Amino acid sequence: MSVKLGVPSKGRLMEKTFGWFAKRGITLSRSGSEREYAGTVSGVDGVDLVLLSAGEIPRELAAGRIHLGVTGTDLVQEKLPLWEQQTEEVNPLGFGHADLMLAVPKCWVDVDTLDDLDAAAAAFRAHHGHRLRIATKYHRLVHGFLRDAGVADYQLVDSQGATEGTVMNETAEAIADITSTGDTLRANHLKLLADGLVLRSQATLWRSRSAPVSDADRTTLKALIRQVG
């Protein structure tokens, strides 16, 4: 057995994760070609690198197929209803900051808060005969947030990317997505609701609570966590 460390296989998150570990004396590298999802770990013994989609890392942690994994708080909390029982936060990594927010068209001058959205949603239903559509890939988080906020007359429509475009494309009236600089929202003529912050997220190192560990793995995990902590 060895300790399995899952990290994002591409993009900003992968590069910054490699950099974060390098600063702590652990070198992560891809083996083989750019397209081969295998890698090596040096600077600490007994650890295997597993390159995965950021979105799959929560499930792999919950299933106990990886011992440690790097992914955003948003993805862990969205994908794992029992995330606190299934994973343990080892370290926030200080990058990949993004806020999951509700946004509506800028031209909705009367809608600036959740209460306004609730009123607009009721009026929308009365007028159109169907519920106002909110596009998102964060179904669980957004549903829980709107339930707690008392907003009822809406439906979630699934959007796995380019979510801000759904309003212009007339497949949704509002969106809930992560925003970092706000550029994508502005470019798509959307504005944030003042009290529409669902979750603050950043890239985080998680530990699985269910991955099987031998005595040797336990020692390796302790050493690794001490080294990066």
Ligand X SMILES: O=P(O)(O)OC[C@H]1O[C@H](OP(=O)(O)OP(=O)(O)O)[C@H](O)[C@@H]1O
Ligand Y SMILES: Nc1ncnc2c1ncn2[C@@H]1O[C@H](COP(=O)(O)OP(=O)(O)OP(=O)(O)O)[C@@H](O)[C@H]1O
Within residues 177-196, the interface with ligand X by CB under 6 A covers 177-184
The residue from 96, 166, 173, 196 that contacts ligand Y (CB under 6 A) is 96
72 counts as binding ligand Y under rule CB under 6 A: yes
Ordered DSSP codes for the chain: --EEEEEE-SHHHHHHHHHHHHHTT-EEEE-SSTT--EEEEESSTTEEEEEE-TTTHHHHHHHTS-SEEEEEHHHHHHH-TTHHHHEEEEEE-S---EEEEEEEETT-TT--SHHHHHHHHHHHHHHHSSPEEEEES-HHHHHHHHHHHT--SEEEEE-SS-TTHHHHTTS-SEEEEEESSSHHHHHTTEEEEEEEEEEEE-EEEEEESSS---HHHHHHHHHHHHHH-
Of ligand X, ligand Y, none, which one sits near residue 182, judging by CB under 5 to 8 A according to partner kind?
Answer: ligand X
State in angstroms the smallest separation of the CB of 193 from ligand Y: 19
Pick out residues in 132-171 that bind ligand X (CB under 6 A). 161-164
78 binds ligand Y (CB under 6 A): no
Where on the chain is the footprint of ligand Y (CB under 6 A)?
Answer: 11, 13, 53-55, 71-72, 74-75, 96-98, 178, 180, 201
Where on the chain is the footprint of ligand X (CB under 6 A)?
Answer: 161-164, 177-184
